[in-house]
Amino acid sequence: WAERQSVNAAASLEHIAHWLEREGWIRNFDLVAEGDLAERRGREFSDSEIYKFLEALAWEIGRTGDAGLESRFRAIVDRVARAQDADGYLNTKFGHAGQEPRWSDLVWGHELYCVGHLLQAAVARARTRPDADDGLVAIARRAADNICAAFGPDGIDGLCGHPCIETALVEFGRVTGDDRYLAQAALFVERRGHGRLGDVEWGREYFQDESPVRQATVLRGHAVRANYLAAGAVDVAAETDDPVLMKAVRAQWRNAVARRTYVTGGQGSRHQDEAFGADWVLPPDRAYSETCAGVGSVMLAWRLLLASGDAGYADLIERTLYNVVSTSPATDGRRFFYANTLHRRVLGASPDVERPSIRASAAQRAPWFEVSCCPTNVARTLASLAAYVATTDDEGLQIHQYVTGTIAHGPADGPERRVTVTTAYPDAGEIRVRIDSDDDRPWTLSVRVPAWAGQGATLTAGGETRPVAPGYATERRTWRGGDEVVLNLPVAPRFTYPDGRIDAVRGCVAVERGPLVLAVESVDVPGGEDLDELRVDTSQPPTLADGRVTVRCRRLEPHDHDWPYNGSEAAPAATATADLLEVPLIAYHDWANRGPSTMRVWLPTI
C-alpha cells in the first residue's frame, strides 16, 4: 500500500489535476464567478470531481504535509469559493443566468450529490487539518445550510437521484457539532423509497426508490447509489440510535454479500444500468464491478464495522481494497478501469491517451472518462487508507488491516500508546505487532483473522503459539515496550469453489492467495490468447515457487462445428490434450499492465 499511496500522490493527483483543467471542469467555477456560463463544460455532476479531488488532496496533505499539494488545494478552494451564491447555493450547472433553475431536476441533476462530495472534502480537511484557514469548511457549512433551508421539513419534499448527501451531512454534523445536518440526513433517508423520483427506464429500484430503506432486504439497483445510500443510513442509524434501521441495513449488506458480490468483492453485474443483478447472477465476463461501487462498498462496510465490531465487514473491506480499488489504477497511476471485469475474452485496443473514454467501453485502462468518477474516487480512497487500518475503544486497540507502520492510540485520560506493525503481507503471512510504550493498565490488543484463513491462523504472544479462528484474536495484558504479538496467516495459494447456484461459474475454480484473487493472463500462457481452452486439474493444490503461483492445466482441442448444441456430451465438450501445462497466475489487480491480453479469474476444471 505504501507503493500505491506513493504512486497516487506522485502521479495520480497530478494526472487528475491535469484532466480537470483540460476538460474545463474547474474552470466552470470561474465561469460562475464571471457570470457567463455559456461555455460551461462537462456533465451535470462534474463539480463532484473537483470536490473528490479536494478530498484526496486533504487526505494526502494530512499524510505527508506536502506543501505543493497544500497550495494547489488552497487555490482550488479559492476558485470554488468565488462560485458560491450569497445564500450558500453552490453548483455550476444550475441556477444561474441561462441555466435551468435550482433543484429543477432532482432525478438526474445531481445538485445534492455534488454538495455531498463538497461536505466530504470539508470533513477530510477538518479531520486532517482542523485549524486550517483555507475556508473550505465554511463554504461547506454555507452549502449545507442552504440545503437544510431548501429541503427541510417545510421545504421541498424531495431527494436526490444519486445518494451521497445523506452520509455527507451526518459526517459534517460530526465535525461541526451541528445537529441540524443529522436531522436533514435522516429526512433524506426516510423520503426515499416512496416513488418520489418517478419512473425511469430501469425502474425505481435504480434509485432505491421502490422500497423504503428500513423495509428493503437487499442492496439493489445502481450499485454506487445503493452503497452510498446504505452508508448514509448506517450513519443516521448510529447517530440517532435507531436499531431497526441499523438492522435493516445489516441484513441488506449480508444478503448482498452472500448472493450478489463477486469473489473480488466487486458489486454490480449489469452493464445496462450499472446495477446489482438478481441473486446469483454474477457473470464474470459481463461483470461490471464498477470501481466506484467498490469505493462505496468500503465506505459502507467501514461504517458497519464501526457500528458492530464484526470482522466480516473488515474482511470485505480487505477483499475490496486488494481486488477492486487496487485493480482500477494502472501501475503508473495514470490510467484507470471504470469497470472491473473478471473475464476478458478478446484482446482489446488501448484507449487513446489524449481522449476521454466512454465509461466502461474501454478494454484497457483509460486516462479519463466522459463520466470520470473513478480516478478521483480511487485517489481519495488510497490517500485515506490509513483511516481504515485500526480502531480503538475503551478496551484497547483493534487492528483490521495489515500494513507496516506505527499506530498511536490510548484513552483520553491516559498516556499515548504506540504499536508498530511489521509485515510483508499479503506476500507473506507473518504480521508482527510490537508494543512501543510501557503501560500501567491492561488493555486488549485485537487482531483480525480473516475468514479466508479458515483454521490455518496462529497467534504467538508471550512465547506461546495457539491456533486462532476467524474473527478477532485478542490478547489482554499490561503491555511493556518490546512485547510482541505475531499473527501468522496461511497465505499459501488455494482453490476456491463457487456456490452451486452461481450459474455463470459452475464447474470452475478461482485461485486465491491470502486476500488476493489471482488470475490467468494470456501474456503468461504458452500457446497464446485463447484462455477459454484451459482446464485446471484440481487434484493438486496450486504451487508456489519463487513467488510465482502456478496451476496444472490441460488444453482443450475444441471441435469446431456448425451448431454448438449437440446430443452427446463428448462431441461439443471437445477432448483435452494429454500434456499438462504449468500455467502461472498473477494478482488480479495487476492484470492488463502489459499490453492487450485476455484474462480469466474463474477457470473451468477438467
| Binding interface with a second copy (CB under 8 A) | 199, 201-203, 254, 257-259, 261, 263, 270-272, 277-281, 283-286, 312, 315, 343, 345-346, 358-359, 361, 451-452, 454, 494-508, 510, 532-533, 556, 558, 560-569, 571-574, 602, 604
- The smaller minimum CB distance to a second copy, of residues 472 and 602, is found at 602
| Cα gap 399→421, rounded to integer Å | 10
> Residue holding cell 435551468?
100
Nearest-approach distance from CB 291 to a second copy, in angstroms: 18
Contact 49, 116 (CB under 8 A): no
Distance CA 358, CA 196 (A): 30
Q: How far is the CB of 258 from a second copy (least distance, A)?
A: 6
For residues 56 and 125, what is the distance between their CA atoms, to the nearest angstrom? 10
The nearest distance, CB 370 to a second copy, in angstroms, is 9
Contact between 274 and 325 under an 8 Å Cβ cutoff? The reply is no
- Pick the closer one to a second copy by CB: 84 or 323: 323
Q: Which is nearer to a second copy, 143 or 363 (CB)?
A: 363
Residue 510 C-beta: closest distance to a second copy, Å? 7
Nearer to a second copy, 151 or 591 (CB): 591
According to DSSP, residue 73 is labeled H
Residue 67 burial (CB < 10 Å; 0-12/13-18/19+)? Answer: exposed
Q: Minimum Å distance from CB 512 to a second copy?
A: 8
| Burial class of residue 319 (count of CB atoms within 10 Å of its CB; 0-12, 13-18, 19+) | buried
Q: Which is nearer to a second copy, 173 or 221 (CB)?
A: 221
Cα atoms found within 13 Å of the Cα of residue 305, Cβ hemisphere only: 27
- Nearest approach in angstroms of CB 184 to a second copy is 33
- Tell me the closest approach of the beta carbon of residue 560 to a second copy, in angstroms: 7
Q: How far is the CB of 427 from a second copy (least distance, A)?
A: 20
| 19: exposed, middle or buried (Cβ count in 10 Å: 0-12, 13-18, 19+) | buried
Q: Is the dihedral of CA 508, 300, 286, 351 positive or negative?
A: negative
Query: What is residue 84's three-state secondary structure?
Result: coil
Q: Please give the grid coordinates belonging to residue 360.
A: 466502461
The minimum distance between CB 352 and a second copy, in angstroms, equals 11
Q: Which is nearer to a second copy, 13 or 585 (CB)?
A: 585
Q: What angle, 0 to 180 degrees and rounded to 10, lies between the N-to-C axes of helices 67-82 and 27-34?
A: 40
> Per the structure block, which three cell numbers stand in for 380?
481519495
CB closer to a second copy, 283 vs 333: 283
Sign of CA dihedral 301, 306, 308, 310: positive
| Distance, CA of 500 to CA of 322 (rounded, Å) | 25
Q: Which is nearer to a second copy, 145 or 533 (CB)?
A: 533
Q: Which is nearer to a second copy, 464 or 562 (CB)?
A: 562
For the bound state, the minimum distance from the C-beta of residue 513 to a second copy, rounded and expressed in Å, comes to 12
Task: Give the type of residue at 270.
Answer: R
Cis peptide before 101 (omega within 30 of 0): no
Please count the residues of the chain: 606
Least distance (Å) between residue 460 CB and a second copy: 24
Taking the complex as a whole, the smallest distance from the CB of residue 250 to a second copy amounts, in Å, to 12
Q: Classify residue 138 as exposed, middle or buried by CB count within 10 Å of its CB (0-12, 13-18, 19+).
A: middle
Q: How far is the CB of 262 from a second copy (least distance, A)?
A: 9
Of the two residues 212 and 456, which places its CB atom closer to a second copy in the complex?
A: 456
State the Cα–Cα distance between residues 543 and 540, nearest whole angstrom: 8
CA 188 from chain centre, in angstroms, equals: 23
Nearer to a second copy, 30 or 310 (CB): 310
Select from 389, 396, 325, 347 the least CA-distant residue to 522. 347
Closest to a second copy by CB, 128 or 261? 261
Instruction: Tell the residue number behind the cell numbers 453548483, with chain if given.
Output: 91
Residue 538 C-alpha cell reads as 484440481
Distance CA 452, CA 540 (A): 19
Question: What's the grid cell of residue 536?
Answer: 485446471
Cα-based distances in Å from 206 to 163, 190, 533? 11, 17, 37
Strands 464-468 and 457-461: antiparallel
Decide whether 234 or 531 has the Cβ nearer to a second copy.
Answer: 531
Q: How far is the CB of 168 from a second copy (least distance, A)?
A: 29
Smallest gap from residue 271 Cβ to a second copy (A): 4
Pick 363 or 397: Cβ nearer a second copy: 363
**Cis ω before 558 (30° cut-off from 0):** no
How far is it, in rounded angstroms, from Cα 439 to Cα 442? 7
Nearer to a second copy, 101 or 500 (CB): 500
Task: Compute the distance between CA of residue 503 and CA of residue 499 in angstroms, rounded to an integer.
Answer: 9
